[in-house]
Structure formats: C-alpha cells, structure tokens
Amino acid sequence: MKRLSSSMARSNCQEAFKIAVETHSARTASGQHLLFVWDMVSCDCEVEALKFVLDAARPPLKCAPDKDFEKTYGLCRHLSFAPRQRRVPTVMNVFDVY
C-alpha cells in the first residue's frame, strides 16, 4: 500500500496502475483477500464511470455469484453505503502524562 500511495502522491498514474495490478494479481494467485478495488478515471468523470468500483466482478477478477465473490475476495461485489451505529465517545485527557 505504501508503494501505491507514494506513486499516486507523485501523480504517476501509470506506476500506480501497475502496482495495483501487481498487488491484485499476487493476492488472487495466492488465494488472499483483496485490500481494495479501483478505477482509473479523470477527476471530472461522473460516478457512473467507476464501473469496477460499482461492480467489482470485472476482469481480471472472476465473475461469480455475490456470495461466492465475497467469500473468495473478502469484499462485496457492489459498492454500497449503510448507516452505522454511532460510536460511543471516549473520554480522555491528552494532557495526562502516564
């Protein structure tokens, strides 16, 4: 992930794409879950242009039924948003020295 983020920080999208493909290929070949999905688009694209993010079962990943896809790759096939429960606030004193 550090290699990927540092290549993106340098605005080197070809290097970032190469690293992302290498990461996915290595993880799928070894049967590990994926860490992320991505789409390379320009900043002025509509959300609908994010075809891989909206439906991750596109090449190079195998198209499988939703349950099999999540079991195989460790992430949902479709991007979705759901409300979460509010986190319980943690009380702390940043000035308290241990």
Q: What is the pLDDT of residues 29-87, one digit of tens each?
A: 888 888 877 777 778 888 888 877 778 887 767 766 767 888 888 888 887 777 888 88
Q: Residue 20: pLDDT band by 50, 70, 90 thresholds?
A: confident
Buried b (16+ CB within 10 A) or exposed e, 58-86: eeebeeeeeeebbebbeeebeeeeeeeee
- CA-CA distance, 7 to 5, in Å (whole number)? 5
Percentage of the chain beyond pLDDT 70 is 80
CA atoms within a 13 Å half-sphere pointing along the CA-CB vector of 90 = 4
| Phi–psi pair at 55, nearest 5 degrees | -140, 100
Alpha carbon 73 to its chain centroid, in Å, reads: 11
Q: What is the pLDDT of residue 98?
A: 62
